[in-house]
Structure 1
Amino acid sequence: MKKRESGILLSISSLPGEYGIGDFGKEAYKFVDFLHHARQRYWQILPLGVTGYGDSPYQCISSFAGNPYFIDLDELVQKGYLSKEEILQENLNSDSEKVDYGRQYHGKYKLLRLAYERAKHDLWPQLESFYGENRTWLREFSLFMTIKETQGNKAWQLWDKALRDFNGKRVDEIENVERERFYFWIFTQFFFLKQWEELKKYANRKGIRIIGDLPIYVSADSSDLWANPSLFKLDKNLEPTTVAGVPPDYFTATGQLWGNPVYDWDTVEEDNYSFWVRRIKHSFRLYDTLRIDHFRGFESFWEVPAGSVNAVNGRWVKGPGMKLFNKIREELGELDIIAEDLGFQTEQVVKLINDTGFPGMKILQFAFDPEGDSDYLPHNHERNSVVYTGTHDNKTVRDWIDTAPEKEKKFAIKYLKLDDEDEGYNWGLIRGAWCSGAYMAVAQMQDFLDLGEESRMNTPATLGNNWTWRVKKSELNQKLSKRIAELTRTYRRG
């Protein structure tokens, strides 16, 4: 039986710091200390992958490689690979409350390349050893990024034809012909993994476990698709024939057209699900607990013809079901997985989640239909579930309260006995999650801080202004950690 515990959702990118984006430096360690003082057992983060166009951590260039933006530059200064003055010249931190991804792309990569030039001779044996140990994923990622540079950073489907074939002769030659470029990407992954594993060990020693996040789909412009095209529904030109999304619902009249290539699950099964086994195994190298995004897609997924302007004209197609999870269990044993089971539910989806034994999710913002008895209301939460005030895709609690239909708001106030003047509506909803029967409760950092629309992390089906929010250093103070600790102790989650 899992213990009653709780945690805070905060992306690495949202941490405070001097260099324009949260990273694995001293502020990350201070946040672990904050969690410890607040009696929390979990730190939930967003995917750590290398982001591309749109900066979404759910559209990554690789399922395995880590984002170089998160590398702590201060360590490179300490080792003599960079100077503080060189970093400050790039002005990465022009806005300490928002991430400027353009500055990160141009400035941070410039600094990392400079550090690589100075470090490569000293580190060469370590880099070669690291490459050998991680070759199964690191070679395809480093080749992909190297070729992408030589091809003007175009999507891989637009590369010279010979370079689109991962197993072709031209690609095979790149590792030696472009050795300097190739090893730069190995250098970034060496420092990413080194620093992340040190931070994770520090958190674990403090009694804090890391919840990571794994998108079900891969990006169209990714090393995953380039190196494994047979596992996806592609035409003879390696273009997707169908793409992923979700159908129209209460929130979106035309559905959501994600555009990711969809799996050819028959071929994936013929390959003994090896790609998925490798993804899951690597995820548990990075995290203690794994939330798998869009879990219902394993039962059946919404498939839309490529070239569609929206997700209306799609169809439901059967996924792999328990065959995939039986294989993962056979290869990797019992794993601590959370199923993101939000969205349209069917008896079959519910059965799949029950058969896996994985806890599902409950979102309080979805609970307060004044006429119904929602599964998301705290009195209906089963123990094997995780309750959230809201996720990165939802409004903050403050924004939700400000914009919810009046009947929903009144029902929430009545149900949770909310008092904005004395307690704060945000604390009332957090209390509703913490007192739930669900074994785990999680709230966004924004909700503890009672922040509004300006601090929303992501608005689904939109581009721009997403993934940029950062917490102020002054907000992570002793007064707040003490209040969270008291709430956690009261509801026996500490």
Structure 2
Amino acid sequence: MALPRASGILLHPTSLPGPYGIGDLGTEARRFVSFLHKSRQSVWQMLPLGPTGYGNSPYQTYSAFAGNPLLLSLEPLLEEGWLTPGEVEARPAFPPERVDYNAVSTWKMPLLWKSFERFRAGASGERRDELAAFAHRQRAWLDDYALFMALREHHGGAVWTHWERDVAFRAPAALQGWRRKLEQRVQFHMFLQYQFFRQWQALKAECQRHGIQLFGDVPIFVAHDSADVWGHPELFYLDEHGEPTVVAGVPPDYFSETGQRWGNPLYRWEVMAQSGYAWWIERLRTTREIVDIIRLDHFRGFEAYWEVSASEETAVNGRWVKGPGAAFFEALHAALGELPIVAEDLGLITPEVRALQARLGLPGMRVLQFGFSGDPRTNENCPHNYTRDCVVYTGTHDNNTSLGWLHEIEAPDSVQSPETAQAERERALRYLPSDGRQFHWDMVRQALRSVATLAIIPLQDVLGLGSEARMNRPGVAEGNWEWRCLAEQLTDEVAQRLGELTELYGRLPLDEPSEP
């Protein structure tokens, strides 16, 4: 995939500011698009957009296709009369810098139900036809998803393996009976997805008007407690009770001395191949409708993945198992044409992974925070070793912020000794060079001036925030995915400074003139 030399910002929509406890797809999202434009950026990167569950991780969602209803803006529902101003204004005092997911869900989901009831009672024929057309167009995943969510609610949030056996294992008569019994809740979840995709397309159009491309994220694996696994159990390694026999993870690495036991069920790739990878083709077709560029998470897993027995408590005792390889991508290309994919190629990368990536012509990722360790002659994340066909980040959602990384030497999630960590920071200060007073801008400058075709900066680094603004700590179960920015932080001064650096290092949009 050929990318123009450009730059952008990484910010998940949940982290947008606003009064409703969580970022959404409304006014503040449009204001952020305006901030990107003022900053002379070309790309808005975000994390996976699916409906989150326990732990609130966008990498563990109830569907690989659906959007998160908590991201819905209430503003269009107000404008159309499905909600009243009084209902929306009677909101709790949400914390401005953190998402309290339980509080948001407790307040917002009943409001969304009210909007659905009023839509059902008073929507025009045209709007009803629009919803019906959406449901028909997305039926490959939406029918199962809506029923799954209705069943999950009916069973008090229990995992699908704890439901009545006939519906858990999809006996046709049971599915039909439950669909009738839970008809209103099924229709509610279809309505939420209709609203999500409607609002998303409006936001995407706003991005297009400002020359901003949306950079999405597709996790390789899906959650066990999901419509995907319940709807297609034959595609996963499950026992007779529907529980995973083996799960995904990665061996011990920079982030954890016991590895990361993700717990996702693993694919039966040989079964997927028999259908020509139909499930994946539909997944990426849906993704391509909502974003312009796709980050394919854990690319190395398509060459070989780390398999851990479900009985293991950590990821230490696992084994490498061959993935589908080039045949998978050839099937995608045959069905969908060339896809704008960036391979997330971090971690333990073997020559076989590099060969597959080269064969497919996929750009990879480089992380500046990883560039100051080991041998500077061979460290791929060290800027002087970059090639053009990559995307550089100061850090990803799994990293600390740049300032947090500089100052938090004895990080609780690091496998490094304090001495090694300190040596890395000292090398970074010499390399950039930086006196440490504006280290975040020095990191931003280094990323932008590199030869990498695309440079992506987490908003936390643009704003100069510390560890308190970290998005995720791998291996830590609680307190992740909660950070939010404040509207007053997105100043014209910050936009101007980022824009000047963007111009200086030749990353302006091609249709924008550059001054000498």
- State the TM-score, normalized to the length of structure 2: 0.93
Match of 1:466 in 2: 480
Superposed counterparts of 1:245-284, under 5 Å? 245-284=249-288
Cα distance in 2, alignment partners of residues 19 and 429 from structure 1: 33
Q: Secondary structure at the match of 2:151?
A: helix
> What is the CA distance between 1:90 and its match in structure 2?
3.5
Match of 2:42 in 1: 41
Match of 1:4 in 2: 5
Cα distance in 2, alignment partners of residues 202 and 187 from structure 1: 23
Match of 1:336 in 2: 340
Q: Is the 8 A contact 1:388 1:443 kept in 2?
A: yes
Match of 2:412 in 1: none
Match of 1:112 in 2: 112
Q: Secondary structure at the match of 1:437?
A: coil
> What is the CA distance between 1:149 and its match in structure 2?
1.4
Match of 2:446 in 1: 432
Q: Is the 8 A contact 1:244 1:262 kept in 2?
A: yes
> What is the CA distance between 1:370 and its match in structure 2?
6.1
Q: Which of 406, 430, 436 is the aligned partner of 2:422?
A: 406
Q: Which of 315, 320, 328 is the aligned partner of 1:316?
A: 320
| 223-232 or 128-137: bigger deviation | 128-137
* AA in 2 matched with 1:194: R
Cα distance in 1, alignment partners of residues 122 and 193 from structure 2: 16
Identity %: 44
* AA in 2 matched with 1:103: A
Q: Secondary structure at the match of 2:247?
A: strand
> What is the CA distance between 1:406 and its match in structure 2?
2.2
> What is the CA distance between 1:403 and its match in structure 2?
2.6
- Structure 2 residue runs without a partner (length 5+): 410-420, 509-516
Q: Secondary structure at the match of 1:367?
A: helix
Cα distance in 2, alignment partners of residues 7 and 101 from structure 1: 27
> What is the CA distance between 1:74 and its match in structure 2?
1.4
Cα distance in 1, alignment partners of residues 476 and 206 from structure 2: 36
Cα distance in 1, alignment partners of residues 171 and 17 from structure 2: 43
> What is the CA distance between 1:335 and its match in structure 2?
1.1
Match of 1:142 in 2: 146
Superposed counterparts of 1:49-64, under 5 Å? 49-64=50-65
Q: Which of 377, 389, 392 is the aligned partner of 1:387?
A: 392
Q: Which of 222, 226, 232 is the aligned partner of 2:230?
A: 226
Match of 2:431 in 1: 415
Residue 216 (1) aligns with residue 220 (2): yes
Cα distance in 2, alignment partners of residues 147 and 484 from structure 1: 48
Residue 68 (1) aligns with residue 84 (2): no
Q: Deviations over 1:179-224 (max 9, x none)?
A: 1111100110111000000101110121100000011000010000
Match of 2:504 in 1: 490
> What is the CA distance between 1:249 and its match in structure 2?
2.4
- Structure 1 residue runs without a partner (length 5+): none
Q: Secondary structure at the match of 1:197?
A: helix
> What is the CA distance between 1:371 and its match in structure 2?
4.5
Q: Which of 332, 350, 354 is the aligned partner of 1:346?
A: 350
Q: Secondary structure at the match of 1:248?
A: coil
| 166-175 or 466-475: bigger deviation | 166-175
> What is the CA distance between 1:307 and its match in structure 2?
2.0
Cα distance in 1, alignment partners of residues 12 and 39 from structure 2: 18
Q: Secondary structure at the match of 2:262?
A: strand
Residue 375 (1) aligns with residue 373 (2): no
Structure-2 change in CA distance of 1:287 and 1:434 (3 Å)? same
Q: Deviations over 1:286-328 (max 9, x none)?
A: 1000001111000000011112111111110000000100100
> What is the CA distance between 1:408 and its match in structure 2?
1.2
* AA in 2 matched with 1:484: L
Q: Is the 8 A contact 1:141 1:223 kept in 2?
A: yes
Q: Deviations over 1:37-73 (max 9, x none)?
A: 1110000011110001110000010011101111110
| 367-376 or 72-81: bigger deviation | 367-376
Cα distance in 1, alignment partners of residues 464 and 225 from structure 2: 37
Q: Secondary structure at the match of 1:82?
A: coil
Q: Which of 305, 311, 315 is the aligned partner of 1:307?
A: 311
Residue 94 (1) aligns with residue 99 (2): no
Match of 2:197 in 1: 193
Q: Deviations over 1:109-145 (max 9, x none)?
A: 0110011111113334433232122211110100101
| 58-67 or 125-134: bigger deviation | 125-134
> What is the CA distance between 1:78 and its match in structure 2?
1.4
Cα distance in 1, alignment partners of residues 184 and 239 from structure 2: 34
Cα distance in 2, alignment partners of residues 353 and 473 from structure 1: 40
